[in-house]
Amino acid sequence: MSRLDSNIRRLVAQRACLDRAAALIRGREGVVFELGLGNGRTYDHLRENLPDRAIYVFECLVTAHPDCVPAAEYLIVGDLRETLPRAAARFRARVALLHLDTASSNRAASERLAAELAPHMAPLLRPGAVIASGLPLPGGSWHPLPLPSEVEEGRYYLYQVPPAA
C-alpha cells in the first residue's frame, strides 16, 4: 500500500472514530482533551461536532494553521509528560472525551509515549468517558469499544471508562 493510501485510510479511520466518540458522549457532562494539535485538523473537527464543549488542547510546539489554534485559555503548551499530570488538579474526573493524537513516524517511540501518558490520563477521565487514539492503550481502567465498520483493526482505537455503578 502506498503511503498516500495509508494516510487516507488513517484519516478516514480517525474521522470515523472521532465521530463515534462524539456521539457516545452526547448528553454527558465533561470537557474534551485533545492531546496533540499537529496541523489542527482533528481539533477543528471536534469543535465543529461538539460546539458547546470546552476543548482543551495540549501541544509541545504549536505549528497549526492559525484558524485551527484554540484560544489561549484552552491551549496548554509544553511536554505532555509534564503538562498532563499538572492538569489533574484542575480536571480530575472531568474529561468526557480524550483524543490521543501524538503518533509520529517512529511507531516504537510513539507507543512508549502513549504508555507513559496513560497513567496520567486515568485520573482525568469521568466514568463513561471515551478515548479515541491512534495508538493502543494497554492498561488503565478503560476497555476497548467496537470500531466503526469502515475502520480496520489496528488502524485506530476506541476505549471507554466503565460508567459509574
* Structural domain contains residue 118: yes
State the alpha helices, DSSP H only, in the chain: 3-25, 41-49, 80-91, 107-121
Read off the pLDDT of each residue in 95-119 and give the average, rounded to a whole number. 85
Domain of 135, in residue numbers: 3-160
pLDDT in tens, 150-163: 999 999 999 999 98
Number of Cβ within 10 Å of residue 29's Cβ equals 10
- The pLDDT, as a whole number, for residue 103 is 67
Task: List phi, psi (to 5°) of 62.
Answer: -80, 115
pLDDT in tens, 113-154: 888 899 999 999 999 999 999 989 988 789 999 999 999 999
* Structural domain contains residue 165: no
CATH number at residue 143: 3.40.50.150
Question: Cell digits for 61?
Answer: 510546539
The residues, ordered by sequence, that sit 6+ positions from 106 with a Cβ below 8 Å of its Cβ are none
pLDDT in tens, 37-73: 988 999 999 999 999 999 999 999 898 999 999 999 9
At how many degrees (to 10) do helices 3-25 and 41-49 cross?
A: 30
Number of domains making up the chain:
1
**Residue 40 Cα to chain centre, angstroms:** 12
Question: Cell digits for 55?
Answer: 476543548
Per DSSP bridges, beta strands 31-35 and 95-100 are parallel
Rounded CA separation 41/117 (Å): 22
* Structural domain contains residue 72: yes
Q: Can you tell me whether residue 31 is helix, strand or coil?
A: strand
